[in-house]
Chain A
């Protein structure tokens, strides 16, 4: 049962089977859903009441029963995580399905990281899988294990160096903008420069570009020319 206390779909809408079918086709067969996963799950429940089974709903709308069950897994989330799904702060079906495999307190810990952007849907998949195989570990330990096992990302940007530009000057300009500790490397050759940034450095570059209303590429060119 998705929610006994508060129904998102009112009784008059529930009474018409075609409403459920239309809502499901519009929200499961398109890349962009208008409804939250919680709302889709409630419509699946309405369609199931009319048609009798998940399989019948699956055949009627042409979506696999497996996918419909993934939507229904939102019913296994604890209230605070359901709220995040309702507000669409957690809006990935894969994430919701993986969270539903965890205990309520664990769901909260992982969902918090999802909302903060600290873990991806891939990480959540690996957390759920590791949780199952290592029940002795605390959920925070599982999260840390998964996060620490990720590859270390470095971001490379290439640009044309105006003649007469000194590499040391260039590094100083980038360091002022992005922080020296975030510059992994800066090399020059054949009139082309290669800047290697840590994830933090790339984040700062993104932020700086956004605040100046430019693309990252344009901002880098401005820094290189010394006109930022």
Chain B
């Protein structure tokens, strides 16, 4: 039986990164910063290896690839203190368990590349019978975040995913164009291309979604042209009691939003809850 609480010192040359580790793209991101922290504090959290200590090396690393790479960098500076890596053994766990553990661990730290996370989350989603709540529960991620990954993975085209993988666009941009194009994948691709070409600001991107959803017949060029044009926004002054003013100020501070944005959101939610807003 594997003792998960027992920490071993394993020579770095006996460890290799497992194919079950979900961090596949840019594993070396921000490793310098981590190496500096390990040099200062030591490796406080052991890496996790598959199988048992008694198995023959090389040991497969499922959690802690960045810590492992930071150790390797420190060792490359001819400092023999870093030859041994603190590690625990997870025992003979299957592919899904390894995926869950690796994903849960990595999502808490430096953000995974979108493609790596989406691949792992979709695999778990399929494994758990399309139960997104179960994926959220197992990985410790919010349901909203899990749904965003699944939404993009299911609806985005290969070309859009490739742009995501290369870091040319953000998941939020892909979600925006999918919403604006309302199921028309060619239009969504066109919108994404134009968004990148014109380097739209956040205000303009918001208008892409607004105009796209309210004008389903508009093509990608029209939507972006309209989105690049500031629109007149009318603000209605409302009298508030002192208590409401104080509450609004609290919300503004806590949410880092403007008072009008908070009020608009509250009103939108209320109108929607009451069935006045479709």
Q: Please provide the chain B residues from 9 to 65 with a CB less than 8 Å away from any CB of chain A in the complex.
A: 37, 41, 44-45
* In the assembled complex, A31 has its CB within 8 A of some CB on chain B: yes
Residues of B within 8 A of A (CB): 37, 41, 44-45, 108-109, 170, 196, 199-204, 207, 228, 230-237, 239, 250-251, 253-254, 256-258, 261
Q: How far, in whole Å, are A56 and B108 apart by their CA atoms in the complex?
A: 12
On whether A153 and B108 interact (CB within 8 A), knowing A55-B45, A121-B257, the answer reads no
In the docked arrangement, what's the CA distance between A78 and B202, Å?
26
Chain B residue at minimal CB-CB distance from A31: B254
Cβ contacts under 8 Å, A216 to chain B: 237
- The CB with the most chain A CB atoms within 10 A, among B202, B233, B251, is that of B202
CA distance A53 to B108 in the complex (A): 13
Interface residues on A, range: 35 or more
Q: A53-B37, A155-B236 are in contact. List 5 more A-B contacts (CB 8 A).
A: A92-B256, A121-B258, A130-B201, A133-B196, A154-B233
Are A32's CB and B250's CB within 8 A? yes
Cα distance A157–B236 in the bound complex, in angstroms: 6
> Cβ of B235 and Cβ of A156 under 8 Å apart?
yes
Residues of A within 8 A of B199 (CB): 130, 133-134
Which residues of A have CB within 8 Å of B37?
A: 53
**Across the interface, which residues of A come within 8 angstroms of B250, CB to CB?**
31-32
On whether the beta carbons of B201 and A126 are closer than 8 Å, the reply is yes
A53 in contact with B237 (CB, 8 Å): no
User: With A32-B250, A121-B257, A130-B201 given, is the CB distance from A152 to B237 under 8 Å?
Assistant: no
- B202's partner among A31, A94, A122, A134 (CB-CB below 8 A) is A122
Q: How far is the CA of A157 from the CA of B170 in the complex (A)?
A: 40
Question: In the assembled complex, how far is the CB of residue A176 from the closest CB belonging to chain B, in whole angstroms?
Answer: 20
